[in-house]
Structure 1
Amino acid sequence: MPAPARLIVNMDVPDLARAEHFYCAVFGVSVGRRLGSGAVELLGLEAPIYLLEKAGDSAATAAAPARRNYQRHWTPVHLDVSVNDLDHARSMAIAAGAVDETGVRQAPYGRIATFADPFGHGFCLIEFNGMGYDAIAT
């Protein structure tokens, strides 16, 4: 039987050093490996994050006409990071340059805050209560 699949998160950013500093400060991750001059592996979450330095307005893929845009944008994929202390994590995110989009909101599963990173990517910080997502599971 083949090994189970493993999630790897790749994020395009226009400034690798700034992104490395941001994500290490906000998510408490650390640098694993450097993959040449344009990529760095961040470890410490359940899935590694790879930051890939790509210039703004560069082609997103060879086959698609889309161009990279690092202003705030919407994508159907974003990061949710579970934290033990949302207030502390939120203050770290803001201090590192995140834009707080909603403040802290109560949810049946705990507390949540949504942000944009300095590169336009959306992410959420979630402090689960004792029930977590079981509170909304059917």
Structure 2
Amino acid sequence: MTFSRALSAVASAAVLSTIALTGPTATPASAAGSFVVSEAQFNQMFPNRNPFYTYKGLTDALSAYPKFAATGDSATRKREAAAFLANVSHETGGLRYVVEQNTANYGHYCDTTQPYGCPAGRSAYYGRGP
């Protein structure tokens, strides 16, 4: 297991432990106020987050994906949310960073020898946050 994968597993376990695995969630996760992670839990999971990241921003974004964390039993919905939030936490340093911090990697993500190359008008690609 790579360090990155191990870190994601630990983050996933931490996020999942914050989300109780009991109790039904009857309404779609994307409906206002029905996401399996409450605002209090979100605040507890990400106490040092950048002000850019808000619970309302998360739930507003989720409205574009009505089936996210809204199918299967309650435990399945919570695991889906936990896996997503653990990955987001890993990729953003606990929601502290909005853009990739390792600028040395910026030129490594495009392969101009391939048909996909770089995005139009860009000579480099890098993680640009959420």
User: Which TM-score band (shorter chain)?
Assistant: under 0.3
Greater per-residue strand proportion: 1
Q: Which has the higher helix share?
A: 2
What's the TM-score, normalizing by structure 1?
0.24
